[in-house]
Amino acid sequence: MTFEIELISPAPAKLSVNDVSKRFVSGSLSVHALDHVSLEIGEGEFVCLVGPSGCGKSTLLNIIAGLERTDGGSVSTDGSGISAPGRDRMMMFQEAGLFPWLDVLGNVLFGLNLKPGLTKTERIQVARHYLRLVGLEKFERANVHELSGGMKQRVALARALAPNPRVLLMDEPFGALDALTREQLYGDLQRIWAERRKTIVFVTHNVREAVCLGDRVVLFSPNPGRIREEFTIDLPRPRDINSVDLARYATRITAALKNYTAGDGPEEASE
Amino acid sequence: MKRLVYTLGFFATLLIVWESLARAGVWSAVLLPSPGSVARYLGDSALDGTLAGASLVTLRRLLAGYVAGITVGLPLGLFTARFRFLRDTLGLVALGLQTLPSVCWVPLALLWFGQSEGAMFFVVLMGTVWSMIIATENGVRNVPPIYARAALTMGSRGLHTWLRVLLPASLPFVVSGMKQGWAFAWRSLMAAEIYVTVLGGFGLGHLLHYGRELNAMEQVIGVMAMIVAIGLLADKVLFSPWERFLHRRWGTAR
């Protein structure tokens, strides 16, 4: 019964970002993406990073994922430093990034196949479990190009969840979807987060989306990328993105965002 | 069904017109024999085994050189995509030599290997390997970076990433490179067989050449028909399954 054991969620991880700086230099152009950024994210917390483009929020996510290195400072999960990608932290991107040479089940199996200690049957059982969780169990034999944008992101979510990570990193995963599909996915993501107990770091520039999903919304400003303010979202779940209470939070945060980026508006495009 | 009838009808009409014009003596039978005499030649040579024998010799040469070309070209293409040094050296060589019809290698091949199977093998190899290197390298370099990033976060590293992500992701390029390599190799082998006598065996090109020498145009046309048939067969057997897979998975079919 390794299959059932495999499905038990591990304790979600605590993330610590300590004094992280990162600078990108290409030719004569230098972008100060992150400037001495520190952030604590608790076990099982859902944190949204919000800010205009170029504020370093995606860079921070990539650093947590281990896809990029810091120039200074450190990032750790439960006290152990991060230097490379690891199976305890799975990532979702704005493009689903599904592999077209595999069918839906094959895509969900990709990460699972790299996880030791499971038989082939168990891997398939686990993959099917997550496809059920995102509501796509009927599409396991479908080809990637046959899926809609929303379905692709659901498969990407199943693929990220399948190796049973402790942290889920999401880089504007719903940015390219239509509003209706997005709203469905907000519901699904909240349900899955409640069910699977993951620490989630979610990057977006959509303030409403951040308020709808996050326990906490962290506001970034660009040039150099810094954390400006944090908002704890004290609303019952599951949240509806169209609710009035949510809109009230969003208005406040948007005002703050405008305030912080007012001076350097033209430089926003420097990402 | 209707399409099949039309297609068959078209070719039947063509043959009938050709046959009746030939019978009416509109042109000399030496210039263009009638389909009937070509069919007779094909029937006779099929019965006495010359056609099958020659086809076998040619196919064996082609397959040996082609398989070797793919086997060598694919990894070299991957290495070329991976190492900048190879891209600046081997990549350039491949690009240059790919433009050279591989039949141009025949004089050197004869010098090095004599009138032997080795020479034919070499010509076919030269026709295949450069296309394969270029197509594979191009394929890998066109893989969207997100695939490698996604794979990396899922724990894929090094060789696993190459074999399970970059190689399958570049499959559309690789298959078209295989097709191009096949086309180059097939044409060059025919040219080589027509103008060089190889002691190791009597291929289709030789058969065609001797047809010309004997002024037996029904043999020339019969062998040409055989060459076309093998080309079509290769396309159906070797490449169609791959292309069907690519179209289905990537959704590129019309």
Nearest CA in chain B to A100: B250
Token pair 């050296």 in the structure block, residue: B89
CB count in 10 Å sphere of residue B73: 27
pLDDT at A27: 84
In a domain, B182, yes or no: yes
State pLDDT tens for residues B53-62: 999 999 999 9
Token pair 């944008």 in the structure block, residue: A149
Tokens of B136: 């594979």
Beta bridge partners of A89: A167
- The alpha carbon of residue A240 is apart from the nearest alpha carbon of chain B, in Å, by 30
Give the closest residue to B62 by CA, choosing from B205, B242, B177.
Answer: B205
CB B189 within 8 A of CB B205: yes
**Contact status of B145 with chain A (Cβ, < 8 Å):** no
| Interface residues on A facing B, Cβ-Cβ cutoff 8 A | 65-67, 85-87, 89-91, 93, 95, 97, 99-103, 110-111, 114-115, 143-146, 159, 163
pLDDT at B254: 58
Taking CB atoms and an 8 Å cutoff, what residues of chain A touch B251?
100, 143-146
- Does the beta-carbon distance from A97 to B147 stay under 8 Å? yes
DSSP conformational letter for B104: G
In a domain, B151, yes or no: yes
- Does the beta-carbon distance from B146 to A97 stay under 8 Å? yes
Residue ranges making up the domain that contains B59:
35-250
State pLDDT tens for residues B151-167: 999 999 999 999 999 99
What mean pLDDT comes out for the span B100-126?
Answer: 92
**Four-residue CA torsion sign, A201, A115, B154, A129:** negative
pLDDT at B9: 95
Q: How many domains does chain B have?
A: 1
pLDDT at A265: 46
- The alpha carbon of residue A239 is apart from the nearest alpha carbon of chain B, in Å, by 30
In a domain, B3, yes or no: no
- Does the beta-carbon distance from A93 to B150 stay under 8 Å? yes
**Contact status of B54 with chain A (Cβ, < 8 Å):** no
- Domains, in order of start, for chain A: 2-99+167-264 (3.40.50.300)
Report residue B26: phi and psi, to 5°: -65, -35
How many residues would you count in chain B? 254
**Contact status of B155 with chain A (Cβ, < 8 Å):** yes
- The span from the first CA to the last CA of chain B, in angstroms, equals 21
Q: Which ipTM did the prediction report?
A: 0.89
Burial of B99 by CB count in 10 Å (0-12 exposed, 13-18 middle, 19+ buried)? exposed
In a domain, B17, yes or no: no
What mean pLDDT comes out for the span B81-110?
Answer: 92
CB count in 10 Å sphere of residue A251: 13
- The alpha carbon of residue A1 is apart from the nearest alpha carbon of chain B, in Å, by 24
Nearest to B150 among A97, A101, A146 (CB): A97
What mean pLDDT comes out for the span B30-34?
Answer: 87
Provide DSSP, A111-166. Answer: HHHTSSS--HHHHHHHHHHHHHHTT-GGGTT-BGGGS-HHHHHHHHHHHHHTT--S
In a domain, B89, yes or no: yes
In a domain, B30, yes or no: no
**Contact status of B254 with chain A (Cβ, < 8 Å):** no
Q: Residues of chain A whose pLDDT is less than 70?
A: 1, 263-271
- The alpha carbon of residue B163 is apart from the nearest alpha carbon of chain A, in Å, by 13
**Contact status of B247 with chain A (Cβ, < 8 Å):** no
**Contact status of B168 with chain A (Cβ, < 8 Å):** yes
The DSSP bridge pattern shows strands A46-50 and A29-41 to be unpaired
Nearest CA in chain B to A63: B153
Tokens of A202: 């979610």
Beta bridge partners of B221: none
Q: What is the pTM of this model?
A: 0.86
Kindly report the CATH number assigned to the domain that includes residue B59. 1.10.3720.10
Report residue A172: phi and psi, to 5°: 45, 55
Beta bridge partners of A227: A220
Nearest to B250 among A66, A90, A100 (CB): A100
Interface test with A, best of B142, B147, B154, B164 (most A CBs within 10 A): B154
pLDDT at A251: 94
Token pair 């060089």 in the structure block, residue: B196
The DSSP bridge pattern shows strands A29-41 and A15-26 to be antiparallel
In a domain, B27, yes or no: no
**Contact status of B147 with chain A (Cβ, < 8 Å):** yes
CA distance B191 to B200: 17
In a domain, B180, yes or no: yes
CA distance B160 to B41: 54
The DSSP bridge pattern shows strands A89-92 and A80-81 to be unpaired
